[in-house]
Amino acid sequence: MRPTILFPLFADVTTLPGVGPRNKALFERLTGGRVVDLLWHLPTGLVDRRARPKVAQVKEGEVVTLSLVVDHHQPPTRHRGPYRVIMRDDSGFLTLVFFHARADWLVRTLPEGSTRLISGRVELFQDRPQITHPDYIVKPEEEDSLPALEPLYPLTQGLGQKPVRRAVEGALSLAPDLPEWSDPDLVAREGFPSWKRALDAAHAPQSQADLEADTAARRRLAYDELLANQLALALVRHRARKSRGRSLQPSGRLKRAILDALPWQLTNDQVRVLAEIEADMADPSAMLRLVQGDVGSGKTILALLAMAGAVEAGGQAAFLAPTEILARQHFDTLKSMADKAGLRMEILTGRIKGRARADILSRLAGGEIDILVGTHALLTGDVDFADLAFVVVDEQHRFGVFQRLALAEKSKRGADVLVMTATPIPRTLTMTIYGDMDVSRIMEKPPGRKPIDTRVVSLDRLPEVIDGIVRAVGAGAQIYWVCPLVELTEKSDLAAAEDRFVQLQQLLGPKVGLVHGRMKSAEKDAVMAAFKAGDLSVLVATTVIEVGVDVPNATIMVIEHAERFGLAQLHQLRGRVGRGAGSSTCMLLRAADAGEVARSRLNIMRETEDGFLIAEEDLRLRGAGEMLGTRQSGMPEFRLADLEAHSDLMEFARDEARLVIARDPDLKGPRADALRVLLYLFERDAAVKYLKSG
Ligand code: ADP
Ligand code: MG
């Protein structure tokens, strides 16, 4: 249960002044629909109204506050024309301009001959100063109501500064003093204000410098967010580790049977990583290890060898894939190898229903299946293992940390967890996504891989590229054509892909297929299967498609508007080719007017195929948020922390989380209540629930 002290913060935005049914949707779009979302909505600028010049001294574009006398009104001379009010001081005249104004209101607010304080941005019109829609019109005796400094917030269409400011002020007034959750030494060393003071300060910048990421207030807020993230991950990991582990020590008979049947040897990196996995398995505490390695670096065989070990030690293994088509693909490759060792393997996906499903479930519960491969369907309540000992999660970081462990939770006696990812992620980001998981990296590629010939080509030369594709198809090649990622809507993505599809189909006929995110998964799978079978030569796709699919015969990857993609994404797409015997090409088509940064980013792709290097460079060039492309990546969204500016805090947070768990693993000690508040404040409550069920 959420601590009561936080209730007002998780109330609906409509509880705030000035927010009602009419503009609720706008606030939802801007920040999210709750009071707390407004607290996290930090200003990105400020207005300084302290300048008090005379009319003769004002400069274009400046925000000023003037003390002026109303000289006379000039109502509109034509329909819908502006209403003007001419103001003066002893140095000259200045015009106030109002569009769609109500005359009676203006006459009341600005009576002729009266003095008013006017604050707003100065414009020059035909060399005469004017202010259109002043921000403030105040009687001299009410000067106090005119703020000297005001924060400027990011806005959304239809919502102005005033209502946002008012709502944020309302949210701040609801923010309670919260108990200190952080280590007092760290708080002192960093000079952190209390949470509440930090919030107030972050929303009341006094200078440009107060808007920077490195102020004590912003660092404090960022630290809290990072600590919540790290603490949640640490709790989960602690639980996964300590609660129910067991030692799996196979003799290695099945492993040898599988290896002996392979036409190749493991690489040194594979041998090293396998040894790391085996050591974890032998250890009595539960394993939680991440294996990172490029597409094609040979992770799958390691997963199989580890699963075989678990089976030999008397248990069962499960392999969780993110999509149906990937589950099938893994099943096919794994099964051909597993058969050689006599392993009994099955697949379970959402599409397997009725009697077939019932049959699998009963064999699984009876221990007649050694390895079960599947999708989310494996997580369903009635999927019951006789003795699940080992879980592999193949993800392109699509599973959340809790899902990863949900499968292991099905084990009666505890299961080891191996997570595999082909997305190269810089170390700092690995920490935020995977927390303190042990990490193994496969850097080396299996021998015999031919480098992919990567070219960066201007979109000006599209006709030549298309000619080349037509020739390549004539020579029997298979080609992926990835269409531009359009930021606006999925629909425009689709339109671009459809146009290209139609164009290529006119040239190549029925050999061209199209797959996109709006298709039903069965339709998608059918097109992918046709491409895999060689019935299609060209596969036009939006990036929302499943790119994990293996088509060894595909040797050309064309990516339109490559400058719009993250490098890590390009790297993954490129990894779809170069998997077979033929030599492969990747054409990165860039906008003719792509800027300098975009070009140098694309050149990195030409220079290296090392995914980790590419990821580090991408992070350096673009920053963390953009790099992973937010939601789909499974990257936790940080609202206050900036992973670059606050990378030192990330490490402190990890250390503190570790220390908390080491001292007080069940969160029962003196700081525990405060830490719980922190977890709920940042909505890491799933970790708290986890704590309870344990
Ligand atoms: P990943 O899962 O990392 O994307 P895979 O395990 O699918 O990579 O391996 C890609 C291809 O390389 C597969 O066809 C696999 O059989 C092959 N392979 C894996 N390890 C080796 C090796 N040591 N030597 C030669 N080929 C290998
Ligand atoms: Mg693979």
Q: Where in the chain is the domain with CATH 3.40.50.300?
A: 248-442, 452-608
Exposed/middle/buried for residue 5 (C-beta within 10 Å: 0-12, 13-18, 19+): middle
Q: Above 90 in pLDDT, residue 397?
A: no
Q: CB–CB of 319/306 below 8 Å?
A: no
CA 482 to ligand 1 centroid distance, Å? 24
SS3 call for 411 = coil
- What number does the ligand 1 atom closest to the CA of 448 have? 25
Is the minimum distance from the CB of 295 to ligand 1 under 6 angstroms? Answer: yes
- The token duo for 76 is 């509109």
446 close to ligand 1 (CB < 6 Angstrom): yes
Residue to mutate (ligand 1; options 262, 265, 297; most atoms within 8 A of CB): 297
How far apart, in whole angstroms, are the C-alpha atoms of residue 149 and residue 119? 12
Which range (411-415, 583-587, 633-637) has the least confidence?
633-637
CA distance linking residue 694 with residue 691, whole number of Å: 5
Burial 231-265 (b: 16+ CB within 10 A, else e): bbbbbbbbbbbeebbbebebeeebbebbbeeeeee
Give me 469's structure tokens.
């594709």
Residue nearest to atom 24 of ligand 1 (CA): 446
Per-residue exposure over 158-185, b if at least 16 CB sit within 10 Å of its own CB, e if not: ebebebbbebbbbbbebbeebbebbbee
Contact residues for 313 (Cβ-Cβ < 8 A; gap 6+): 248, 249, 250, 281, 389
- For residue range 625-655, list pLDDT tens digits in order: 554 443 334 445 688 988 778 888 988 998 9
Mean pLDDT is lowest, of 73-77, 350-354, 573-577, for 573-577
**Phi and psi, residue 167, nearest 5°:** -65, -40
pLDDT, residue 436, reads 64
The domain made up of 452-608 has a fold known as Rossmann fold (3.40.50)
Dump the DSSP string for 508-526: HGGGEEEE-TTS-HHHHHH
Look at the block and give the residue holding tokens 């293994």. Answer: 317
Q: Is the CB of 264 under 6 A from ligand 1?
A: yes
Which residue type occupies 110?
A: L
Mutate to test the pocket of ligand 1, among 301, 332, 335, 579 (most ligand atoms within 8 A of CB): 301
Best mutation site among 258, 259, 262, 264 for ligand 1 pocket (most ligand atoms within 8 Å of CB):
264
301 lines ligand 1 (CB under 6 A): yes
| CATH number 1.20.120.610 is the correct assignment for the domain at 50-146 | no
Contact 181, 674 (CB under 8 A): yes
Confidence of residue 402 (pLDDT cuts 50, 70, 90): low
| Nearest residue by C-alpha to atom 5 in ligand 1 | 298
CB 386 within 8 A of CB 364: yes
- 444 CB within 6 A, ligand 1: no
How much distance in Å is there from the Cα of 299 to the middle of ligand 2? 6
Note the pLDDT of residue 631: 36
Q: Mapped to the 3 state alphabet, what secondary structure does 422-437 carry?
A: CCCCCHHHHHHHHCCC
Query: Which helix (H) or strand (E) covers residue 438, if one does?
Result: strand 438-442
Indicate the burial class of 647 (C-beta count within 10 angstroms; 0-12, 13-18, 19 or more).
middle
C-alpha span between 388 and 542 (Å, rounded): 38
The sign of the CA dihedral 10, 11, 17, 20 is: positive
The ligand that comes nearest to the alpha carbon of residue 269 is: 1
CA of 300 to the centre of ligand 1 (A): 7
Q: Is the shortest distance between the CB of 266 and ligand 1 below 6 Å?
A: yes
CA distances from 353 to 318, 372, 445, 485 (A): 19, 16, 39, 36
Q: Are 605 and 614 in contact (CB under 8 A)?
A: yes
Greatest alpha-carbon pair distance for the chain in Å reads: 100
189/181 Cα distance (integer angstroms): 15
| Runs of H (alpha helix) within 208-323 | 216-242, 253-261, 268-282, 299-312
Q: Which atom of ligand 1 is nearest to the CA of 262?
A: 16
pLDDT of residue 339: 94
88's CB contacts (< 8 A; 6+ apart) are 55, 68, 69, 71, 94
- CA–CA separation, 349 vs 93, rounded Å? 76
Please work out, in degrees rounded to the nearest 5, the angle formed at the alpha carbon of residue 281 by the alpha carbons of 280 and 282. Answer: 95
Rounded to a whole number, what is the distance in angstroms from the first to the last CA of the chain?
Answer: 16
pLDDT tens-place string over residues 9-62: 999 999 999 999 999 999 998 988 899 999 999 999 999 999 999 999 999 999
Q: Tokens for 607?
A: 């220079």
Q: Are 121 and 106 in contact (CB under 8 A)?
A: no
Residue having the nearest C-alpha atom to atom 19 of ligand 1 = 298
List residues bridging with 394 in a β-sheet: 420
Q: Is the CB of 299 under 6 A from ligand 1?
A: yes
**What is the four-CA torsion angle of 235, 238, 244, 245, rounded to 10 degrees?**
150
Distances (CA, A) of 301 to 270, 330, 420, 549: 9, 10, 12, 17
Ligand 1, atom 25: closest residue by C-alpha: 446
- pLDDT value of residue 244: 67
- Check if 292 has its Cβ closer than 6 Å to any atom of ligand 1: no
Distance separating alpha carbons of residues 469 and 463, to the nearest angstrom: 10
- Euclidean distance between CA atoms 200 and 577, whole angstroms: 53
- Ligand 2 centroid – CA 335 distance (Å): 14
Cβ(205) – ligand 1 distance below 6 Å: no
pLDDT tens per residue, range 530-569: 998 999 999 998 765 555 677 888 999 999 989 888 787 7
pLDDT, one tens digit per residue, over 269-282 is 999 999 999 999 99
What does each C-alpha distance from 590 to 457, 471, 607 come to in angstroms?
6, 22, 16
Q: Distance, CA 568 to ligand 2 centroid (Å)? A: 17
Mutate to test the pocket of ligand 1, among 259, 262, 271, 300 (most ligand atoms within 8 A of CB): 300
CATH topology for 248-442 is: Rossmann fold (3.40.50)
CA distance 97 to 74: 10
In whole angstroms, what is the distance from residue 231 CA to residue 609 CA?
A: 35
**What percent of the chain is modeled with pLDDT above 70?**
90
Does residue 676 have a pLDDT over 50?
yes
Average pLDDT over all residues of the chain: 88
Q: What is the whole-number distance in angstroms between the Cα of residue 579 and the centre of ligand 2?
A: 11
Give, as residue ranges, everything with CB less than 5 Å from ion ligand 2: 300
Which residues touch 7 (CB under 8 Å, ≥6 apart)? none
* β-bridge mates for residue 119, sequence order: 65, 136
Residue nearest to atom 23 of ligand 1 (CA): 266
Q: Which two tokens stand for residue 236?
A: 């989960």
What six digits make up the tokens of 503? Answer: 């164009």
User: Mean pLDDT across the stretch 313-339?
Assistant: 92
Q: What was the pLDDT predicted at 312?
A: 96
Q: Is 293 in the pocket of ligand 1 (CB under 6 A)?
A: yes
CA of 579 from ligand 1 middle (Å) equals: 9
- Over 60: is that where the pLDDT of 490 sits? no
Looking at the chain, the domain(s) classified CATH 2.40.50.140 span 50-146
User: Mean of the pLDDT values across residues 469-479?
Assistant: 95
